[in-house]
């Protein structure tokens, strides 16, 4: 019995030494590797099955560490040549004596580089681009083939190699290049190294593609920087909160902000003083500022991703000075013309009244013509003064509750004699009990009178209708004529300065082309609007929209 117990104890010790202990060591090593310690190795070196398992585990862990270090090394390389050198070193770490050829795809075609196994010698090779493309397209996964295979005949491969392992370098389905591994011995690329080689090829492809993308971004950034630095206009880049992210050199000079890279600016903190109300010469969508004695015009455009905007600065100091000088000249000339014109009108009026003696019919006709032309000249001067006032911002509007019937009467009454003389039928249809409107009586009357004057001048003697009715939250006043109408392509520019209809350019009374522009500007400053509908041969319909007074204000005005 004692011998049996001793035998059992001996067997237990043997099992613990040969099986349990090695398995415990292997389990602890596996746990450490799983935790990230890739340098941990099993210390079991027996010649039994457990020893073989330990050896295979250590070999697998070594290759895993090799791939991990290769991945880190490739990711840290900023240039393609460094990546290729690192890749070649990783391949030689698996299979000594291997020469690596990399065929990179570039915009100019295929670029072939050789990295020799031992001395790092690099030479240019000649290849058939079409054959290389076909070989790369068919290389799905790592493929092993004899060096004298027909598929490699298009490449001018160096002699002395027996076996080639190759694969396409691709990233997300996009072909980056072709990797060829050459070895002087047959059977060098065994099955156990194919998977690690494929992993190295994948990492190299990603690293090379990242270098390409980085180079493209750098090139585009340099191109944009060169453009921004070369243009004369200032450019400001802001984020969604209008914090300044970038100023080009021109913007730095215009704003005089040499410290902007060291200080975070908000757009509101820039030395830009708004000039206030836009003038008639301002472009739509632009805002003018005063900055260090200069006048800057700004225009904004949102970024494509919606996370900011680009603001352009254009120095319009010279243009602004010229506009101001022009406006001042118009105002000066207009005021200087008004005095002698008033004297002329007085003298002509006395002639018409025969204060200086009896006039014959021809003299009466000449006096009437002189009076009409002097009145027309007076109207042009009034318009020029009005334009000058709008551009200088000196025009003050007295907006208050106003009855539209009063405005219509004031506009129609002075034109009655002219309509009678021209034998033009002028009818007025104002809807009863219209609400009061918010308007400047004098300026709204001017706008309506301008529409009536145009209808009388260019209506070819056809009837004219004035209509007023409720419209939404306000009142619509329309002037309808049945003249030749206006061509459709001219309608969008009709309310711009110096724009007239075709008839106005070719026949009949001439003007400065200011009337409709002034009507639009005056109405918009009162919160109103003007529109036109016209058809060639069927006349035109101009409609003015004016805001109605609130109900409480209506009662207070009543």
CA separation for the pair 14, 11 (Å, rounded): 5
Which residues, other chains included, contact 92 with Cβ-Cβ below 8 Å and sequence gap of 6+?
A: 98, 117
Q: What averages of pLDDT result for each successive group of 10 residues across the chain (558 residues)?
A: 56 55 64 61 66 62 54 58 81 87 68 43 52 81 89 77 90 84 91 86 83 76 73 86 88 85 86 69 68 88 86 85 73 75 86 85 86 79 72 74 90 87 89 90 89 88 92 90 86 68 43 71 88 88 89 53
Report pLDDT digits (tens) over 415-462.
888 888 888 899 999 998 899 998 888 889 989 998 998 898 888 889
CATH number of 398-557: 3.30.565.10
pLDDT of residue 120: 37
pLDDT of residue 506: 40
Which residues, other chains included, contact 385 with Cβ-Cβ below 8 Å and sequence gap of 6+?
A: 330, 331, 334, 335
147: its two tokens: 């060096």
**CATH superfamily, region 77-221:** GAF domain (3.30.450.40)
pLDDT of residue 503: 46
Distance of CA 126 to the CA centre of its chain: 46
Place of tokens 């016209």: 534
pLDDT of residue 429: 92
CATH 1.10.287.130 fits 13-69, yes or no: yes
pLDDT of residue 110: 55
pLDDT of residue 457: 86
CA separation for the pair 481, 535 (Å, rounded): 11
pLDDT of residue 465: 93
pLDDT of residue 341: 83
* Span 231-315 CATH architecture: 2-Layer Sandwich (3.30)
Contact 194, 166 (CB under 8 A): no
**Collapsing DSSP states into helix, strand and coil, what is residue 509?**
coil
């Amino acid at each position: 019995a004692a011998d049996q117990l001793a035998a059992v104890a001996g067997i237990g010790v043997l099992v613990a030494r040969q099986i349990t202990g090695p398995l415990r060591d292997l389990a602890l090593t596996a746990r450490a590797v799983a935790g990230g310690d890739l340098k941990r190795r099993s210390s079991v070196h027996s010649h039994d099955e457990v020893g073989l398992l330990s050896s295979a585990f250590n070999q697998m862990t070594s290759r895993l560490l090799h791939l991990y270090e290769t991945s880190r090394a490739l990711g840290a390389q900023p240039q393609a040549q460094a990546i290729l050198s690192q890749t070649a070193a990783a391949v030689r770490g698996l299979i000594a004596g291997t020469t690596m050829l990399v065929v990179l795809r570039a915009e100019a075609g295929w670029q072939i580089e050789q990295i020799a196994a031992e001395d790092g010698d690099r030479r240019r090779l000649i290849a058939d681009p079409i054959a290389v493309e076909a070989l790369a397209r068919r290389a799905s996964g790592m493929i092993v083939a004899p060096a004298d295979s027909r598929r490699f005949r298009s490449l001018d491969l160096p002699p002395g190699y027996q076996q080639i392992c190759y694969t396409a370098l691709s990233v997300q389905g996009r072909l980056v290049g072709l990797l060829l591994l050459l070895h002087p011995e047959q059977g060098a690329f065994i099955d156990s190294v194919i998977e690690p080689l494929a992993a190295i090829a994948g990492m190299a492809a990603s690293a090379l593609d990242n270098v390409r993308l980085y180079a493209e971004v750098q090139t585009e950034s340099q191109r944009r920087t060169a453009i921004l630095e070369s243009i004369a206009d200032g450019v400001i880049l802001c984020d969604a909160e209008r914090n300044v992210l970038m100023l080009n050199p021109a913007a730095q000079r215009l704003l005089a902000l040499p410290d902007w890279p060291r200080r975070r600016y908000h757009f509101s903190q820039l030395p830009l003083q708004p000039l206030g109300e836009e003038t008639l010469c301002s472009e739509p969508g632009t805002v003018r500022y005063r900055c260090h004695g200069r006048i800057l015009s700004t225009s904004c455009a949102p970024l494509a991703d919606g996370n900011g905007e680009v603001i352009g600065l254009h120095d319009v100091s010279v243009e602004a000075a010229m506009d101001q000088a022009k406006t001042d000249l118009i105002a000066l000339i207009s005021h200087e013309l008004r005095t002698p014109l008033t004297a002329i009108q007085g003298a002509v009026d006395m002639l018409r009244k025969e204060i200086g003696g009896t006039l014959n019919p021809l003299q009466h006709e000449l006096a009437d013509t002189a009076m009409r032309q002097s009145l027309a000249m007076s109207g042009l001067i009034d318009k020029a003064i009005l334009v000058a006032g709008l551009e200088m911002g000196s025009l003050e509007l007295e907006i208050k509750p106003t009855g539209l019937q009063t405005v219509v009467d004031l506009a129609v009454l002075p034109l009655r004699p002219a309509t009678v003389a021209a034998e033009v039928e002028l009818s007025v249809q104002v809807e009863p009990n219209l609400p009061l409107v918010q308007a400047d009586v004098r300026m709204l009357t001017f706008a309506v009178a301008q529409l009536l004057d145009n209808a009388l001048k260019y209506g070819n003697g056809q009837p004219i209708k004035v209509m007023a009715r409720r419209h939404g939250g306000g009142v619509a006043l329309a002037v309808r004529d049945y003249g030749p109408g206006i061509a459709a392509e001219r309608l969008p520019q009709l309310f711009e300065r110096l724009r007239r209809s075709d008839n106005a350019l070719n026949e009949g009374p001439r003007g400065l082309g200011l009337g409709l522009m002034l009507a639009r500007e005056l109405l918009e400053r009162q919160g109103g609007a003007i529109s036109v509908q016209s058809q060639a041969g069927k006349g035109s319909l101009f409609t003015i929209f004016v805001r109605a007074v609130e109900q409480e204000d209506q009662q207070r005005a009543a």
